């Protein structure tokens, strides 16, 4: 043997083809995948870097915005605070002899110069009070309360813009006492400016605060000076800020009540007819509320918090120079700063898709070209192999000098082997239609897996009417799943189901006037070029079949050669094996009785309802079996669960019982197949026949029932349970010996029977 003859069995052609395929496809696809990964990596990296840079710049912007707001707050409240201290100092230093007039003059000037001041006032420990507040047309209104015991006086003095008095009003019903007010009491507790909580001013219904400071007068005792500061302008300032696209800022006190907000109308809430400052949770703003909640837990600072799937940048900073623990609360969506980064990233990614598409197109062209080259190479290789195989097959056929001699069977065996080898078929068989056109005769069937040949059996037209009709059209059949195709379902049920084949190729053997037979291949993978060879073989077979002599029907050669005695059962011997004698049997013994058992295997199918008359399938089967029993004089039939049992031959002189039972079985099979096909489900029944000994007796109370049992019933039940395929009629060897002259059979195989051992079984086809 040369080195070229050594074959590496570890490297199969399939593995090589797979490696070549992945080389052709995997490299271009991998290249496209690398391009996509590179683009995505660059895009993600650029997005992360740009986002980090933008967030860093946005942090600086927000810090500057925070400083601006704090500066604005200081500049807003500082003048009012200084005004409070100046009012105290004016009185403390006693610059002029009339402190009230000096304070009134100072207040008028402060109201004109400082727009956020709404009023200046002072009160002492005796309940005396003076307040100067804004009036109409730039003037002022002064309220004086002289709280002299028994001579209390409350008077309003009105001034115009030039300071001239325009009117005086008295209000004896006014019981205002400054000593009861929060701004008075709070100032007494500190040496610095005291800030009140935010509240609604009584006169103009706007929110504001009061800054007050105390002074000890040697004559009047404790005196408190206060300044009312309105907050409406502060809300206007917050509304004017541009914080990103949708950012906003509010000022809250330590209790969560609003001091100022961009929308001044939201600062006040109606509480039972009284205006009060709103809490932050009443704004219906999830971002502000989330920022405030995090502030209460984590304290001041800047942080990024998720709110309803959106990242929010929040800043909470103290305002130490004004108010009582006031805080600035600022929120802005992160996307306000990074939105253009994401937008630019998407645009860049879309532009990158053009590169990906071009790369994918080039890769697809490369894959297409490579696969086309591989397909062409494989097609040439397969064509070469097919031509070589066909050449070898033709040489083998040429060596069969007696191929056209219908008396020689050896060429059929060789031809079946050649057909199976060409396409790796599970089974190849050669069939001939007999002259009466009622049966298909198998010349030879070869299974490469077992190397076995079989033949000599027949298929009846009554068993396979649709298959016969499809074959006699003369057209080749290529059926992917014979079980689901009406043309091949019958053939599949009878022959293909036992070896679990599905794919079916049928090449008709055409004669001058009609189809003479067929070449049938099961589960074969046939190249297109092989069909011509099959047609050539079919034409050769047409010559052979045209000269053939009809084979003997109704029997199987192998079975004919066996003595019938192997199937006989002795009732006396059976009793002896059990230690019994005939007189001990009280029931009636029937030595020659024919029994048929039908097993209905699918309970769900039995319960299916017919749309036409609403009857269920099992009801229609029972009615058909009753008609069949009447037509063939079957005296005993009963249904028990999924089984139907019928018997004939109770009379000792009944010589036709087994033939009537066989005819009834064929009729039952045909009727059941029609019912199953009409109602939809696949056939799910099997039929068994036996001829032998049975025992019967009346049992039970009145009305007594006749029961039949024994070997014949048990064997018929076993034949039905082990049937070759749904719808098949399997008969025991004992029944076959009495029916073979009247019906067509094909061998099924061996079957074990108690007390008899292995015995042959057969499949009944029909009448010849």
Give the separation between CA 728 and CA 300, rounded to whole angstroms.
Answer: 89
What pLDDT score does 405 carry?
Answer: 57
Are 664 and 725 within one domain? yes
Are 461 and 317 within one domain? no
Other C-beta atoms closer than 10 Å to the C-beta of 158 total 16
User: Of 499, 525, 553, which residue sits at a domain end?
Assistant: 553
Give the separation between CA 252 and CA 259, rounded to whole angstroms.
Answer: 5
Are 218 and 293 within one domain? no
218: which DSSP letter? T
User: Do the domain assignments include residue 382?
Assistant: no
Are 537 and 643 within one domain? no
What pLDDT score does 659 carry?
Answer: 93
User: Do the domain assignments include residue 393?
Assistant: no
What pLDDT score does 668 carry?
Answer: 92
Domain CATH for 533: 3.30.450.40
Here the tokens at position 753 are: 């029977």
CA distances 32 to 26, 46, 366, 663, Å, are 10, 21, 12, 71
Are 328 and 338 within one domain? no
Q: How far, rounded to the nearest angstrom, does the alpha carbon of residue 450 sit from its chain's CA centroid?
A: 45
User: Do the domain assignments include residue 3?
Assistant: no
Residue in the structure block whose two tokens are 């707050």:
73
Are 610 and 667 within one domain? yes
Are 495 and 542 within one domain? yes
Q: Are 198 and 277 in contact (CB under 8 A)?
A: yes
Are 222 and 245 within one domain? no
Q: How far apart are the first and last CA of the chain?
A: 58
Q: What is the DSSP string of 230-265?
A: E-HHHHHHHHH---TTT-EEEEE-TTSBEEE-SSGG
- Short-list 176, 194, 199, 173, CA closest to 184: 194
Who's near 550: CB < 8 A, 6+ residues apart? Answer: 434, 435
Domain CATH for 351: 3.30.450.20
What pLDDT score does 663 carry?
Answer: 94
Residue in the structure block whose two tokens are 């008609």:
627
Q: What is the pLDDT of residues 668-705, one digit of tens each?
A: 999 988 888 887 787 888 899 999 989 888 888 888 88
User: Do the domain assignments include residue 720?
Assistant: yes
616: which DSSP letter? B
What pLDDT score does 247 carry?
Answer: 84
Are 285 and 402 within one domain? no
Domain of residue 184 covers: 27-230+334-370
Residues of the chain predicted below pLDDT 70: 1-21, 24, 54-55, 91-99, 203, 217-220, 321-324, 339-342, 382-410, 423, 435, 455-457, 498, 525-530, 547-587, 611-614, 724, 748-758
Are 640 and 734 within one domain? yes
The runs of H, that is alpha helices, within 578-656 are: 603-606, 617-631
- Short-list 198, 216, 197, 215, CA closest to 207: 198
609: which DSSP letter? B
User: Do the domain assignments include residue 387?
Assistant: no
CA distances 12 to 19, 378, 601, 764, Å, are 11, 15, 45, 46
User: Do the domain assignments include residue 758?
Assistant: yes
User: Do the domain assignments include residue 21?
Assistant: no
Are 123 and 149 within one domain? yes
Q: Are 727 and 490 in contact (CB under 8 A)?
A: no
The domain total for the chain is: 4
What pLDDT score does 389 carry?
Answer: 62
Q: To the nearest 5 percent, what fractions of the chain are helix, strand and coil?
A: 45, 25, 30
What pLDDT score does 7 carry?
Answer: 46
Domain CATH for 593: 3.30.70.1230
Q: Which string of b and e fits 320-338 if b means at least 16 CB within 10 Å?
A: eebbeebbbbbbbbbbbbb
User: Long-range contacts made by residues 26-32, C-beta under 8 angstroms, separation at least 24?
Assistant: 28/362, 28/363, 28/364, 28/366, 28/367, 29/363, 29/367, 31/359, 31/363, 32/356, 32/359, 32/360, 32/363
Are 241 and 177 within one domain? no
């Amino acid at each position: 043997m040369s080195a070229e003859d050594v074959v590496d069995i570890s490297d199969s052609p399939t593995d090589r083809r797979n490696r070549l395929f992945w080389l052709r496809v995997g490299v271009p696809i991998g290249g496209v995948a690398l391009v996509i990964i590179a683009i995505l990596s660059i895009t993600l990296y650029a997005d992360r870097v740009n986002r980090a840079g933008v967030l860093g710049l946005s942090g600086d912007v927000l810090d500057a915005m925070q400083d601006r707001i704090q500066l604005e707050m200081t500049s807003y409240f500082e003048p009012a605070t200084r005004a409070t201290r100046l009012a105290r100092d004016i009185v403390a230093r006693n610059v002029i002899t009339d402190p009230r007039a000096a304070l009134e003059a100072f207040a008028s000037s402060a109201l004109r110069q400082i727009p956020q001041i709404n009023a200046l006032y002072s009160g002492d420990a005796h309940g005396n009070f003076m307040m100067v507040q804004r009036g109409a047309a730039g003037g002022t209104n002064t309220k004086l309360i002289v709280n002299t015991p028994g001579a209390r006086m409350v008077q309003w003095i009105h001034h115009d813009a030039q300071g001239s008095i325009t009117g005086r009003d008295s209000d004896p019903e006014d019981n205002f006492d400054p000593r009861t007010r929060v701004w008075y009491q709070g100032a007494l507790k500190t040496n610095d400016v005291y800030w009140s909580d935010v509240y609604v001013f009584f006169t103009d219904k706007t929110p504001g605060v009061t800054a007050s400071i105390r002074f000890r007068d040697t004559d009047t005792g404790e005196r408190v000076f206060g300044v009312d500061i309105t907050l409406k302008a502060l809300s206007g300032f917050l509304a004017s800020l541009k914080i990103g696209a949708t950012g906003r800022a509010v000022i809250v006190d330590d209790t969560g009540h609003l001091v100022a907000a961009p929308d001044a109308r939201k600062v006040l809430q109606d509480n039972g007819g009284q205006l009060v400052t709103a809490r932050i949770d009443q704004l219906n703003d999830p971002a502000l509320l989330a920022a405030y909640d995090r502030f209460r837990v984590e304290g001041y600072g800047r942080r990024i918090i998720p709110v309803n799937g959106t990242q929010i940048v929040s800043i909470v900073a103290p305002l130490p120079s004004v108010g009582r623990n006031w805080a600035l609360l600022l929120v802005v969506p992160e996307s306000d700063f990074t939105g253009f980064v994401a937008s630019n990233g998407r645009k860049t990614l879309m532009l990158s898709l053009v590169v990906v598409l071009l790369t994918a197109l080039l890769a697809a062209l490369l894959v297409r070209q490579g696969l086309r080259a591989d397909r062409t190479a494989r097609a040439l290789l397969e064509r070469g192999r097919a031509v070589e195989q066909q050449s070898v097959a033709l040489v083998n056929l040429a060596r069969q000098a007696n191929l056209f001699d219908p008396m020689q069977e050896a060429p059929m065996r060789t031809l079946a082997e050649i057909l199976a080898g060409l396409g790796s078929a599970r089974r190849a068989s050669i069939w001939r239609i007999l002259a009466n056109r009622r049966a298909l005769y198998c010349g030879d069937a070869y299974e490469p897996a077992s190397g076995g040949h079989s033949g000599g059996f027949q298929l009846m037209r009554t068993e396979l009417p649709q298959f016969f009709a499809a074959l006699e059209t003369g057209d080749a059949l290529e059926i992917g799943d014979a079980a689901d195709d009406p043309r091949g379902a019958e053939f599949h049920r009878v022959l293909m189901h036992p070896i679990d084949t599905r794919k079916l190729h049928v090449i008709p053997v055409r004669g001058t006037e009609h189809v003479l037979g067929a070449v049938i291949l099961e589960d074969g993978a046939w190249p297109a070029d092989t069909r011509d060879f099959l047609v050539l073989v079919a034409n050769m077979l047409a010559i052979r079949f045209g000269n053939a002599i009809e084979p003997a029907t109704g029997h199987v050669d192998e079975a004919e050669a066996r003595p019938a005695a192997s199937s006989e059962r002795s009732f006396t011997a059976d009793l002896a094996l059990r230690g019994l004698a005939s007189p001990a049997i009280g029931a009636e013994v029937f030595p020659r009785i024919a029994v048929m058992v039908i097993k209905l295997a699918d309970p769900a199918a039995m319960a299916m309802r017919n749309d036409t008359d609403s009857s269920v399938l099992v009801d229609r089967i029972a009615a058909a079996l009753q008609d069949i029993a009447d037509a063939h004089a079957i005296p005993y039939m009963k249904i028990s669960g999924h089984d139907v049992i019928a018997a004939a031959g109770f009379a000792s002189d009944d010589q036709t019982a087994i033939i009537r039972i066989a005819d009834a079985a064929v009729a039952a099979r045909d009727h059941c197949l029609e019912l199953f096909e009409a109602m939809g489900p696949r056939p799910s029944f099997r039929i068994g026949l036996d001829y032998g000994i049975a025992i019967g007796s009346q049992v039970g109370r009145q009305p007594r029932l006749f029961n039949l049992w024994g070997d014949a019933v048990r064997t018929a039940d076993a034949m039905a349970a082990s049937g070759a395929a749904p719808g098949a009629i399997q008969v025991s060897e004992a029944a076959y010996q009495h029916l073979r002259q009247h019906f067509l059979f094909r061998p099924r195989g061996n079957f074990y029977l108690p007390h008899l051992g292995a015995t042959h079984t057969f499949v009944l086809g029909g009448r010849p």
